[in-house]
Structure 1
Amino acid sequence: MKRILSALLCSSLLLLSACGSGSKEAGGSKEEKETVKIGITQLVEHPSLDAAREGFIAALKDAGYEEGKNLKLDYQNAQGDMNNNMTIAQNLVTDDNDLILAIATASAQAAVQSTKEIPILFTAITDPVGAELVESFEKPGGNVTGTSDTHPDAIKNTMNTIKRFFPDAKKVGMIYNSGEPNSVVNVENAKKALKELGLEAVETTISASSEVKQAAESLVGRADVFYIPKDNTVVSALESVITVANEKDIPTFVGESDSVKRGTFASYGFEYHDLGYTTGKMAVEILEGKKPSEIPVGFPESLELVINKAAAEQEGITLTEEMLKDAKIVGE
């Protein structure tokens, strides 16, 4: 009898143990994410690129990947140094990250040159096809995909707005780093749009952020309006342009809305945080089994005219009802 009771007791304990183990497996492993490592390489610090990075991390957190718990992030900034940029990419590959986020074109190119195996996502890229990061927007190919920050109508809308707001303007001054492929593409598109409007582009190039103020000063008297494209080198020293524009009452248009918030007059733009968030959602898909080649390149779905009221006053611009009627206003 004792032996029967003992056997029954053991059977019961085994059954309970099995049930308990099954519950943990069903509930725990599905809810808890496996720890992943993500390396982030960013060319230079400025608000737009920073916002894209923050949006990326926010999307991961919303999907259950949280730094300090099941997410290890290695964020490195090249501070605009191309040699440092390549070293960072190589180090992130050597460190066996599960995924690499590259912010800005040069960072993405360095990452792509460093690995054909680790999944790479890019964001804040003007022309990923021209930069030879992907084969096409629809079918990226390889181990790379991400989000472009160039809406097809952004530059054209901005040039049309210059013509509409300042009909007496004849020349548009542009400052950019000719070593940044994204900037060259933006400037070429701007020049094409300006030519169609009967406006002249006046260009000046720089190679370092320390040259930006002098470049802006060189355009005084030669340009009626400034246009600063999405150029990482120039935008990182944007306050230098703003100082000259304010002193000389020159309206300043830019390639993205974060620069409007910093003190320029206007742009057709979007929120880089949202762009980064979209990239973060792509990362979740990849971490959970999808291949980068299966995810089309994304870009901003909508644009809005953003005007900085305080900057308008500083640049000597009299705001009209027409200017304000369809605009998002900042700097009040």
Structure 2
Amino acid sequence: MKKAVSLLLAAAMTVGLSACGSAASSSEASSAAETSETSASQASADGTVYKIGICQLVQHDALDAATQGFKDALTEKLGAEGVKFDEQNASGDTANCSTIINGFVSADVDLILANATAPLQTATQATSDIPILGTSVTDYATALDISDWTGTVGGNVSGTSDLAPLDQQAAMIQELFPEAKNVGLLYCSAEANSVYQCDVIEGYLTDMGYTVERYAFTDTNDVTSVAQTAADASDVIYIPTDNTAASNTEAIANVVLPAKVPVVAGEEGICKGCGVATLSISYYDLGYQTGTMAYQILAEGADVSTMAIEYAPNVTKKYNAANCEALGLTLPDGYEAISE
């Protein structure tokens, strides 16, 4: 009997070993795929699902692209099952930003993306614990009233800036319109970063010999009337990276194109709507860069307080072919047409 039992056990072990061998063979066959998996599977292997609150100020091409780039970066790095987005749009209303952000805080999200200045300002007032990343924010020192700017916000805040070099934007105006005398700055006075851009570029343009006047609207209700005043008094109009302007490019175009006044814009979305030329960054790439920062915080334990504000690595001279044709302008070499 003992011999029989021993034989049966031996046979069972042989079958078991054979099965293990088959499993090992299967494992070896798939090992290459497993070792080539991204950090997404590693990050979500323990079942962690990160909750991300996204507050976008308003819907327009630039901010939409930044949000999409951010989501794509985190989805690629954490996997579709490793991250959950609560994406909300404030429709240009700062009061809505407060409602949205406070909802994120109540829900105890793992990280907040503040897409544009108003959401960033609101988020910093709402929480000092949840990591906050800004994007599509031009100047963090201005937005957050930091007097001794060192490149790092500190606390629970960091992010990316959409500022294209303002000296190069001024040089673009001089390159395209050397005979112009009067440059109008058209912007929303309620947007701190727009005011900052106008402060800086006005200095460059004045040094170049232009007479510079400011034309500020307070919200969407007076965009058309202020644009008309600017067009009547200007040879060229400059519009900075401005969310209100970006949401009202059709209204601006309906003024400046019939008046034959060219607009140089601070970003591609505004130029596509009402401008002739821009020094452009990729907002999608900027959002993706911000998503990479979020991954470092969430999955790699990076300290947001020590993370410096990052900038778009490349800028491109672009032009609006249709508007240039309408105004009879031929741009020099080195400008790339904005795709339709």
Is the Cα–Cα contact under 8 Å of residues 246 and 269 in structure 2 kept in the other structure? no
Q: CA deviation at 1:214?
A: 1.2
1:327 aligns with: 335
Distance 2:150 2:52 in 1: 24
Q: Structure 2: which 5+ runs fail to align?
A: 28-33
Deviations along 1:234-260, one digit per CA (max 9) or x if unpaired, are 211111111111111111110012222
SS of equivalent residue, structure 1 residue 313: helix
> In the TM superposition, what is the alpha-carbon distance from 1:303 to its structure 2 partner?
1.4
1:112/1:120 contact within 8 Å kept: yes
Deviation of the 1:263 alpha carbon: 4.3
Q: Does 1:185 align with 2:196?
A: yes
Q: Is the 8 A contact 1:226 1:250 kept in 2?
A: yes
- Structure 2 residue aligned with 1:48: 62
- Alignment match, 2:317: 305
**Counterpart mapping for 1:177-216 below 5 A:** 177-216=188-227
Q: Pick from 138, 147, 153: which aligns with 1:140?
A: 153
Secondary structure (helix, strand or coil) at the match of 1:167 reads coil
Which range is displaced more, 103-112 or 136-145?
Answer: 136-145
1:64-143 maps to which residues of 2 (within 5 A)?
Answer: 64-66=78-80, 69-132=81-144, 136=149, 138-143=151-156
What is the CA-CA distance between 1:331 and the residue it aligns to?
5.3
Q: State how far apart, in whole Å, the 1-side matches of 2:89 and 2:232 are.
A: 37
Looking at structure 2, the residues matched to 113 and 330 of structure 1 have their Cα atoms a distance apart, in angstroms, of: 38
Local SS of the residue matching 1:187? helix
Aligned to 2:256: 245
Corresponding pairs, count: 321
Deviations 1:48-90 (A, max 9, x none): 1111101101111221332xx2321111111111211112111
Deviation at 1:36, TM superposition (A): 1.0
Residues 161, 139 of structure 1: alpha-carbon distance in 2 compared, 3 angstrom cutoff: closer
1:138 deviates by: 4.1
Q: Note the C-alpha offset of 1:4.
A: 7.8
Q: CA deviation at 1:178?
A: 1.3
- Shift of the 331–56 alpha-carbon distance from structure 1 to 2, 3 Å rule, reads closer
TM-score (norm 2): 0.85
Q: Do the aligned partners of residues 109 and 5 (structure 1) sit closer, same or farther apart at CA in structure 2, a change above 3 Å counting?
A: farther
Q: What secondary structure, in the 3-state scheme, does the structure 2 residue paired with 1:75 have?
A: strand
Q: How far has the Cα of 1:132 moved from its partner? A: 2.2
Supply the distance in 2 between the matched residues of 1:5 and 1:270 (Cα, whole angstroms).
75
- Structure 1 residues 183 and 136, CA gap change in structure 2 (3 angstroms): same
Provide, for residues 135-191 of structure 1, a one-character-per-residue CA deviation record: whole Å limited to 9, x for no partner: 74544321111001113xx22212222222212211111221212111110110111
CA distance in 1, matches of 2:306, 2:79: 22
Q: Is 1:167 aligned with 2:178?
A: yes
* Alpha-carbon distance, 1:274 to partner: 0.6
